[in-house]
Amino acid sequence: MNSEDVQDYERQCDSKLNQESRTIMMMYERERNFFIIHTSSFIILIMVLPILTGADNPMLRAKAKNVGDINKELKSLVKDMEETMTKADGVGLAAPQVGKSIRLCIARIEDTVTILINPVITKRSDKKVIDQEGCLSLPGVWVDVARACDIQLTYSDLKGKTQERQLSGFSARVVQHEIDHLNGILIVDHANVTMQPTTTQPTES
Ligand SMILES: [Zn+2]
């Protein structure tokens, strides 16, 4: 996108904003790793954040603290995390992975990116399934991880409202993975389950 395109786009945004002041329009330049969101009253930059890596990284090994106020900074972090996860082609991302040791994660649940603030798993099924998982913080590492098939989850949404959900299958797996991050647990800590001779015993899926 060159500067003439940008100016043209901004003119279009301005004229549309005059008609629909509540409408949010986005203009982005992926090469420069940021979004600019035009709204009726302000402009927000959305950054693609660096993802911390390494099984020994102290940030990834810390137990994250509860989120207090849901303020402007937190909302901005959520937007950055959403963009970071999309750019990395991930299905979940926890705040410690981008250097914030707080109990916040995002997860793609049934094709929707869901924001989980102070999430707690209140019930797990006894039945577990083993499946292979990767992690944006451990590039190139794949580990067979046993996870509960079904979970019951409570969390606050971005409006501070408590939500309760039942999740199964892949969504339940993603959320368990992300909540592990909030407790300083990484997939390599589950590595003992790979002891099964998977070449002769097919993995459950
Ligand atoms: Zn991960």
**Which tens digits make up the pLDDT trace of 23-62?**
333 444 444 455 555 555 556 678 999 999 999 999 999 9
Ligand 1: distance of its center to the CA of 156 in Å?
21
In this prediction, residue 38 carries a pLDDT of 53
**pLDDT score, position 41:** 53
Is residue 198 helix, strand or coil? coil
- How many whole angstroms from 82 Cα to the centroid of ligand 1? 14
Hey, what domains does the chain have and what are their CATH numbers? 1-47 (no CATH), 51-195 (3.90.45.10)
> How far is 32 from 48, CA to CA, in rounded Å?
9
CA 14–ligand 1 middle distance (angstroms): 40
| Distance between Cα 170 and ligand 1 center (Å) | 14
Q: By C-alpha distance, which of 139, 137, 136, 123 is closest to 176? A: 123
Run of H or E including 152:
strand 150-156
Positions marked catalytic: 178
**How far, in Å, from the CA of 186 to the mean position of ligand 1?**
7
Find the 198 Cα to ligand 1 centroid distance in Å.
23
Residue written as tokens 């954040």?
Answer: 49
| Contact assessment for residue 137 and residue 57, using Cβ atoms and an 8 Å cutoff | yes
Cα(160)–Cα(68) distance, integer angstroms: 10
**Predicted local distance difference test score (pLDDT) of residue 115:** 98
pLDDT above 80 (res 7):
no
Is-contact 175 109, C-beta < 8 A?
yes
Sequence-ordered strand ranges (E) for 75-111: 92-94, 104-109
For the entire predicted model, the pTM comes to 0.76
Q: In this predicted model, what pLDDT tens digit does every residue of 106-134 receive, in sequence order?
A: 999 988 999 999 999 999 999 999 999 99
Alpha carbons 101 and 60: distance in angstroms, whole number: 8
Average pLDDT, the chain: 82
* Ligand 1 centroid, distance to 18 Cα (angstroms): 43
